[in-house]
Amino acid sequence: MTQKYTLHTHTIGFDGQDSIINMIETAKQRGLHTIGISNHFIVHPNIKKSKMYEFAVRGGYSNIYAETFQTALNRFIPHYAEIDVLREQYPEIRILKGMEVDFFNNPIWHNKFEQAINILQPDYIIGSAHFIEYGDTILNTHDWAKADTSTKDILLKKYWINLANAAQSGLFTWMAHLDLPKKVGLGCEDYWAEYENNVIEEINKSKTAIEINTSFYKPDCYEPYPSNRIMQMVKHANIPVLISDDAHRAKDLCRHFDKAENIIINMNLQHYQIR
């Protein structure tokens, strides 16, 4: 078994470093039949109050953040139009329109998000949570590590509950990097299994898939997102999985797919089939 598609990718104009054309050309070289582009769709009225926003402005990628749905639409409409043109130009490879969405659990967000996807008509939607609402601001995963111990616990609980709500919403094709907080060393204790399990149950009920995200593999790290602890729950519930490289550069397309494929084979997991 070899996964001949990749669907979790980021490009220039958002926080990726290569153009869609670079990504398509590289995908062809790697023998893929399908590539999906899934830039960030992150809309929150308080987004500019987050520390991550200032950081992104300095880094030149604040375009992934929007205070209003209209702003995000104004970026995605020409972005998807560009993909339409490239579909004509590259008939030999299937090019899909995706998005990686930050879920916020309130009715206004939900309603406006549904209106936005009615306009954009993406081929698939990746659910994620890089932020947690906290007081009148929102905190990125990177900010959580700096909080005191009891606040860290509150944030992590909010994170898992938010993911459960995201899965329950039924809005998403699959959920991204489930245990993202481990990026900053949080949530690794067995104590969190109960929260993880709750999310897995909601994912199962809503027929959502999950990804094995290979971006966490580093020279000193032998696991992807999610951890083996979560993968055991995924196996138990027989939730379909796909492999994501979360490539922000063309050279990262299909990175460590061999390792993730070994997990799928060894655990005999259900491999997600793209429509």
Of 38 and 197, CB closest to Zn ion:
38
CB of 159 to Zn ion, least distance (A): 13
Alpha carbon of 105 to those of 25, 128, 131, 174, 274: distances in Å?
38, 12, 12, 17, 27
- Decide if residue 246 touches Zn ion (CB under 5 A): yes
- φ, ψ for residue 207, nearest 5 deg: 60, 35
Stretch that binds Zn ion, among 41-49, 77-85, 94-102, 105-113 (CB under 5 A): 94-102
**Residue at shortest CB range from Zn ion:** 246
CB of 178 to Zn ion, least distance (A): 11
- Decide if residue 100 touches Zn ion (CB under 5 A): yes
What is the torsion angle, in degrees rounded to the nearest 10, for the CA atoms of residue 6, residue 100, residue 50 and residue 165? -130
Identity of residue 33: H
Of 197 and 215, CB closest to Zn ion:
215
193-205 vs 228-237: helix crossing angle, rounded to 10? 30
- Residue given tokens 């990262």 in the structure block: 252
CB of 197 to Zn ion, least distance (A): 22
Hey, which residues between 128 and 187 contact Zn ion (CB under 5 A)?
A: 128
- Decide if residue 252 touches Zn ion (CB under 5 A): no
- Residue given tokens 């993968």 in the structure block: 231
Of 64 and 164, CB closest to Zn ion:
64
CB of 7 to Zn ion, least distance (A): 10
150 burial (CB, 10 Å; 0-12 / 13-18 / 19+) is exposed
Among residues 174, 172, 263, the alpha carbon closest in space to that of 217 is found at 263
Q: Write out the H or E segment, with its range, that includes residue 241.
A: strand 241-244
Stretch that binds Zn ion, among 15-23, 28-36, 84-92, 243-251 (CB under 5 A): 243-251
Query: What x/- string results for residues 44 through 83 when contact with Zn ion is judged by CB under 5 A?
Result: ----------------------------------------
CB of 268 to Zn ion, least distance (A): 27
> Residues interacting with Zn ion, by CB under 5 A?
100, 128, 246
